[in-house]
Structure 1
Amino acid sequence: MVSIIIASHGKFAEGILQSGSMIFGEQEDVKAVTLMPSMGPDDLKAKLEEAIASFSNQDEVLFLVDLWGGTPFNQVNGLFEAHKDKWAIVAGLNLPMLIEAYASRLSMDSAHEIAAHIIETAKEGVKIRPESLEPKDDAAAPKEEASKAVTGGQPGSFQYVLARIDSRLLHGQVATAWTKTTNPTRIIVVSDAVAKDDLRKQLIQQAAPAGVYAHVVPVDQMIKIAKDDQHFGGQRALLLFETPEDALRAVEGGVPLKELNVGSMAHSEGKVQPNKVLAFSQEDIDTFNKLKDLGVKFDVRKVPTDGQDNMQNILDKAQSELNKKK
């Protein structure tokens, strides 16, 4: 796997490393190297060399630096000259660039290949509100045309690439890590409550990654779509449910889901929390048991790089804690 060094003035590199871990999960062979006010160029060079020496793969190294021409860049560039056939440097670091680099490591074995690939994502991550301030790009195709290009515009039913229960719905881990892994053309939030909330609908649509449509539909509408989806041109759908109860209604209504990714369920009064990210009421436990009886399997993890937790063990622990509260 390609190794990554994040280099910056001050603690920016450490902060963005932490942010990337929150969204995409902890990463091996990634180091933050910071230039602090008390340090000189030689001190920074020594820290860079120490970080490189710690990697399991020192042949393929990607450097993500904050500023072209700054001291971190200059010291990286001095080391780079002897390895430029394999190593690569990208300046102008932002969080979309880092997340894309993490995702690219899963399928690309070359620092050069990843460096060339992440540039466009880094640019797309720079957006403005109000949208009228965005520079006009006459060459950009409308989103609908881009979607047709992806799917070919041919008749065909939905392919469900992921169905996820997440009380946060469309947030960073979904918009980056899961979207990169599953490559959907449509993200569909299935929720009666959100469908009635114009502000939440607007925020979800704005959070969609470039080239992907985001929709919010009530559960009954999703059931209708699932029963008559032949006009969707073979779209790849990622479904997001706010609660397990909404997911159960969808499955019972005929949405053909064989597996549910369980990512996050927020704590509230009357619930127990058997692990850091999942909280259950008795209704939630009963709902998961009904889904299990319908043949639905559970993939319990926040991001694709996490190991899977055992859902039955989690449910048993939650039930035990609820029984103690009675």
Structure 2
Amino acid sequence: MVGIVIASHGGFAKGILQSGNMIFGQQENVQAVTFMPNEGPDDLHQHLQDAVTQLENETEVLFLVDLWGGSPFNQANTLFEEHKDHWAIVTGLNLPMLIEAYASRMSMDSAQEIAAHVLKEAQAGIKLRPESLAQQAAKNSNATVSATVKEGKPGKMEYVLARIDSRLLHGQVATSWSKSVKPNRIIVVSDAVAKDELRKKLLVQAAPVGIKVHVIPVKQMIKIAQDDQHFGGQRALLLFETPQDALRAIEGGVPLTTLNIGSMAHSAGKVQPNKVLAFNQDDIDTFQKLAQLDVQFDVRKVPNDSPDNMQSILNKAQAELDKQK
């Protein structure tokens, strides 16, 4: 029997597992994985690995995930890369999808066959009342497609958001920020990631619908910022993995006046003054250099959060580092 892993932000996976059992009966060979606010990508990766090992059949595994481009998808996708001949991932998890997956296991032995089958049922499960709203939604969708920005217009690129986030492209970026600032391109600016073909591939695959994702080194971003002939009409959301990359880009001429600070992962030698930001001395010094360049810091995970005071966070981090000396 094909194994199923349900994965989501928060407790949704466990909730929909319970709902599915109420409707279709208790199921075997199914695991629910939740990604909680106090956890990081490595925790989620381990949860998914553990879930797969608890399945009776690790050869045929179907991941049903809440959101394309979110952390559950991204981490499942890293596992999928080594099993792409047999495993499958379907995003947009809803109850019709889950129930159809349960039913399909009774007659289908392939995760990929089930994935292709449940997609149609999941889409058919989305309906509107009054019915006239569906017709209007279809018209709006067609209008959006026809209004897609073409490349090659004279002018410079517009930067709608520049964010430092060690997780780069994940749910908060793919949904909350993308819907708020409406980019038509997400550009990951990182020398390290640009050299890593697997990470590049996974990031491009995680692109939100209707938005192109590019991964480029810092020097190329600087070159693009100086080009006033080919990027008119382009609304770019820039993602930096580290403050050092952001500083190099700004010193090189990328015209950023504000940096959104999302997350900086903890590692050896770093202190963590709050739940999502960790610093070593080089990080603190880099932010001070950015401040000297009159760069403003917008410390928020998502648009609806109230901004935190970056200088207070840096002062706390510096005090903790000084204690370690």
Q: Same fold (TM over 0.5)?
A: yes
Per the TM alignment, residue 272 of structure 1 is displaced from its structure 2 partner at its CA by 0.2
Provide Cα deviations, 1:234-285, integer angstroms capped at 9, x if missing partner: 1000000000000000000000001000001000111000000000000000
> Given the superposition, is the C-alpha separation of residues 188 and 324 from structure 1 closer, same or farther in structure 2, using an over 3 Å criterion?
same
Distance in structure 2 (CA, Å) of the matches to 1:280 and 1:322:
9
Which of 147, 150, 158 is the aligned partner of 2:148?
150
What are the equivalent positions in structure 2 for 1:166-177 lying under 5 Å apart? 166-177=165-176
2:307 counterpart residue number: 308
Q: Is the 8 A contact 1:301 1:307 kept in 2?
A: yes
Distance in structure 2 (CA, Å) of the matches to 1:160 and 1:202:
23
RMSD: 3.8
2:159 counterpart residue number: 160
> Given the superposition, is the C-alpha separation of residues 116 and 22 from structure 1 closer, same or farther in structure 2, using an over 3 Å criterion?
farther
Provide Cα deviations, 1:155-180, integer angstroms capped at 9, x if missing partner: 22111000000011111211111111
1:66 counterpart residue number: 95
2:18 counterpart residue number: 10
AA in 1 matched with 2:155: G
Unpaired runs of 5+ residues, structure 2, are 1-11, 21-30, 40-92, 100-120
2:199 counterpart residue number: 200
1:222 counterpart residue number: 221
Unpaired runs of 5+ residues, structure 1, are 1-5, 24-63, 71-91, 98-110, 121-139
Per the TM alignment, residue 66 of structure 1 is displaced from its structure 2 partner at its CA by 2.8
Q: Is the 8 A contact 1:274 1:314 kept in 2?
A: yes
Provide Cα deviations, 1:116-165, integer angstroms capped at 9, x if missing partner: 59x88xxxxxxxxxxxxxxxxxxx9xxxx96x942255422111000000
Bigger CA drift: 148-157 or 252-261?
Answer: 148-157
**1:272 and 2:271 aligned:** yes
**Residues matched between the structures, number:** 218
Q: TM-score, normalised by structure 2?
A: 0.58
Identity fraction in percent: 63
What are the equivalent positions in structure 2 for 1:115-194 lying under 5 Å apart? 149-151=147-149, 154-194=153-193
Provide Cα deviations, 1:64-95, integer angstroms capped at 9, x if missing partner: 97349x9xxxxxxxxxxxxxxxxxxxxx889x
Q: Give runs of ≥4 in structure 1 deviating > 4 Å.
A: 6-9, 18-23
AA in 2 matched with 1:198: E
Distance in structure 2 (CA, Å) of the matches to 1:67 and 1:272:
45
Per the TM alignment, residue 301 of structure 1 is displaced from its structure 2 partner at its CA by 1.1
Q: TM-score, normalised by structure 1?
A: 0.58
Per the TM alignment, residue 189 of structure 1 is displaced from its structure 2 partner at its CA by 0.5
> Given the superposition, is the C-alpha separation of residues 116 and 173 from structure 1 closer, same or farther in structure 2, using an over 3 Å criterion?
farther
AA in 1 matched with 2:222: I
Secondary structure, counterpart of 1:287 in structure 2: helix
Distance in structure 1 (CA, Å) of the matches to 2:122 and 2:38:
17
Bigger CA drift: 185-194 or 172-181?
Answer: 172-181
Per the TM alignment, residue 230 of structure 1 is displaced from its structure 2 partner at its CA by 2.7
Distance in structure 2 (CA, Å) of the matches to 1:264 and 1:116:
38
